[in-house]
Amino acid sequence: MKYSSLVEVYEKIESTSKRLEKTYHISNLLKKTPDEDLQTIILLIRGRLYPDWDKRKIGVASKLVLKAINASSGAGINKIEQLWREIGDLGLVADRVIKTKSQSTLFSAKLTVAKVFSNLRRLNDMEGAGSVDRKVQLISELLSSADEKEAKYIVRTVLEDLRVGIGDGTLRDAIVWAYLPIDVKYNPENVSIDVDREKYNEIVNIVQSAYDKSNDFSTVAIAARKGVSELKKVGLIPGKPVKVMLAQKVLSVDGGFEKVGVPAELEYKYDGFRMQIHKSEGKITIFTRRLEEVTKQFPEVVKCINEHVKGESFIIDCEAVGYDSKTGKYLVFQHVSQRIKRKHNIQELAAKLPVELNIFDILYYNGEVLLDVPFEERRKLLEKIVSEKQSEIILAKKLVTSDKKVALKFYEESVEKGNEGIMLKSLKSVYKPGSRVGFMVKLKSQMDTLDLVIVGAEWGEGKRSGWLTSFSLACIDEDGNYLETGKVGTGVKEKEEEGLSFGELTKMLEPHIKQESGRAVVIKPEIVLEIKFEEIQKSPTYSSGYALRFPRVIQVREDRAPEECSTIEMVKEAFNNQKKT
């Protein structure tokens, strides 16, 4: 398949903000895609080279792309950098210089999606001496054969910044429109569909279920092309991570009972980091909620699971909570988060910062997918297969009740023990990977917080010179667009020994800088901060329509992926809730 066919769709999608229109254009592309290119197209349509469960990155810096544009176009580096400062998008820079390039390749060929995909996949594997030059060569080879529009999207894909706004729901619906037995009538004037709503929702749910289990839209599209019966065969595979189920927030026990129903199971809400633990063919694999594998960082967890959990194969959901080895008291997330990134002296850090596993759910056991099994039955299974050992592995402390007074006492007990609050769960609920569901909610003791991603900053002046400061924050909408909610600097320290510092944040953010203009910096969404605030106000200044008043940084949430930051709906809900209190 020609790469130009994909580029045409990119252009159409980028030119509209209407979700149904985007869905229509993608579905038409999928219908035309041959079997051998379907997996590649599904990935590239969102500017990716790997499925959601595979956390490898292309990892190519903007400066390297500048060299590739120079090598393929003949335009001077200074000219390219000047254009970049003016335009702020290296994809558009490539578009402009390729259109007017002074050198052309004698034997340029029409690009195919397979060729583009192959060259870009090879970038990730290159390391060591000479790797920079080889990467430049691979990119410039593509740009030399590209027209200006193709060059724009090749560069954006390399930089993992496609800028066309395709969310999971849009791609899911495009697969439904393209392959399944539904008569979709599209009217571009009013952007509507004419379809039997009940039948449509049924098939959308089947596709969503397949994605929930596989965490891979390529697998879903290939199955959908073969029909509904094939989609229903898609299942969980131990060793291949899936997105964890997320909880909504409530402000009171009454609000929690109203959401999940009564009686409900209440559990301690621990201030640790989420672990998804897989066992398959005798091998234990540990993933964070960002789907990053951290098995090597937690050798004691592997040993503990082997000794205390019965079963040939399983997928367990739990929280790893740090504790003080002398006092036995739980530690807050900040103390143990460093274990996630540790590559060396692992045993030493494990002894210094031990963790206790608090097991609370199970998704798969001995060949059976448990997502649709009621929660109370999943919990009973855990009670049969987990042998508890204090300070190593326990089942999350629970209480089943319909009584508000009993629930409040349990909440106060949890907070007194140093936990964040409690979880309230519906006894009959299913497990929905990746969803922020209403049948599992959290009630926290502290002032409300949001998890927001950094999308910009400013270089400091005076004593803060050399540091990034004044960090622009954003939430996310259903199409994956990041919407700004304000700026924050309070809570970040000048001295590293005092806590999270400007120097530390600068080091984290520098690899993700996309554009600089004077002191202002645009940053690729990657780093998530937990933010406290006094209130939320409506604001025309920011793209979300809201602004945080007196925001303060609590901590970096290294366990949060950028797409897991707070949604615009959560911001609206927090705004509406404060009006009631």
Reference 188, options 298, 320, 23; nearest CA is 23
Alpha-carbon span 462 to 236, nearest angstrom: 54
Q: Are 290 and 55 in contact (CB under 8 A)?
A: yes
Give 75-121 as a 3 state SS string. CCHHHHHHHHHHHCCHHHHHHHHHHCCCCCCCCCCCCEHHHHHHHHH
Q: Which of 149, 243, 269, 524 is catalytic?
A: 269
Strand 421-426 versus strand 436-444 pairing type: antiparallel
| Helix, strand counts (H, E) of the chain | 22, 22
Q: Are 6 and 111 in contact (CB under 8 A)?
A: no
Between the alpha carbon of residue 99 and those of residues 94, 153, 520, the distances in Å are 8, 14, 29
524 tagged catalytic: no
Q: Are 130 and 111 in contact (CB under 8 A)?
A: no
Reference 446, options 579, 269, 181, 311; nearest CA is 269
Q: Are 219 and 234 in contact (CB under 8 A)?
A: yes
The amino acid that residue 415 corresponds to is V
Between the alpha carbon of residue 69 and those of residues 109, 114, 158, 169, the distances in Å are 18, 21, 12, 34
- Taking 3-state DSSP, the helix, strand and coil percentages for the chain, each rounded to the nearest 5, stand at 40, 25, 35
The amino acid that residue 399 corresponds to is L
Q: What residues act catalytically?
A: 269
